[in-house]
Amino acid sequence: MKNVLITGCSSGFGYLTALLLARKGYKVWATMRNVLTKNKAKKKELLVIAEKEKLHISVLELDVTIETSVTKAIDFIINEDGTLDYLVNNAGYMFVGLTEAYTIAQAKDQFETNFFGVLRMVKAIAPHMRKQKEGLIVNVTSIAGRLTFPYFGIYCASKHAVEAYSQALRYELAPWGVEVSLVEPGPFGTNLLYSGPKEADQAIFDSYYKQKDEPAALLKFFDGFFQSSEAPNPQLVADDIAMLIETKRGERPERVVSGVGFGAEDYNQKVYPIQQSVVKDALQLQHLMKLTR
């Protein structure tokens, strides 16, 4: 039985993906923070569903911001299963507000989860995948990792970072039989829009007296959209993650846009040949340097 580790399973995309993949016959390690406190009810909910439907779901404590938590969870899974076939880096949260009014400490917190959390997971798992000569890493970013929206500046920066990191990993891990793909959700009616803190630099916030209400107005717009008949179902993201996992090795796309893309699909299509050219030129340069040594 193939197994998969998913981060951020207490709600939203992670929760839906855990159930979908378990129902498809995978052994799912559904990880989340605070399984004995804040997310105790969510853990119980998943396990009750698993018992009722005879699904292979195990809920495991994992905080992507703490290295010891990551290594402890990975070591436990490897000791139990001997291998790890798929990793879905889904854990994350979002800042929505005046970009300048977020403090340096707040920006670091955003990156600690959204970017460095992904790095910790990859560094803990990639050696096992390289050893077994196969595996798939799916990093859930956002269309905000390709496009940039006002008042999402810190969040966009963290997701742009994951996009760049994933692109490099895709090339570097390929010779080991390990693949990397990205899922880029558009706006969905999950709790992500409201998961981050408000701006902490009050003096800067107050100086934007003509704009400081605009982030709230933007959130109100999204609320209206999510309640409309045009709102996309968050299940689309889980479906796209499952599609990548079930796609034949060597045929998985680099990026998949889920839901409303705001033109991200077109952006990806136009950038792809440029990126491929950059890699080709870099490899040719490397070859020439070897010849001249």
Reported confidence tier of residue 223, pLDDT bands at 50, 70, 90: confident
Q: Give the separation between CA 252 and CA 259, rounded to whole angstroms.
A: 19
User: Which residue in 131, 32, 144, 46 sits closest to 90, CA to CA?
Assistant: 32
Q: What is the pLDDT of residues 13-42, one digit of tens each?
A: 999 999 999 999 999 999 999 999 999 999
CATH architecture of 3-262: 3-Layer(aba) Sandwich (3.40)
Q: Are strands 255-258 and 178-185 parallel, antiparallel or unpaired?
A: parallel
Q: What is the pLDDT of residues 236-287, one digit of tens each?
A: 999 999 999 999 999 999 999 999 999 999 999 999 999 999 888 777 767 6
209 is annotated as an active-site residue: no
Which residue of the set 86, 93, 151, 155 is catalytic?
Answer: 155
Token digits for 192?
């992500």
Asked whether the whole model's pTM tops 0.85, one would answer yes
- For the cut 90, the answer to whether the pLDDT of residue 228 exceeds it is no
Contact 199, 101 (CB under 8 A): yes
Q: Give the separation between CA 77 and CA 185, rounded to whole angstroms.
A: 28
Q: Give the separation between CA 255 and CA 3, rounded to whole angstroms.
A: 22
Strands (E), 62-161: 86-89, 135-140
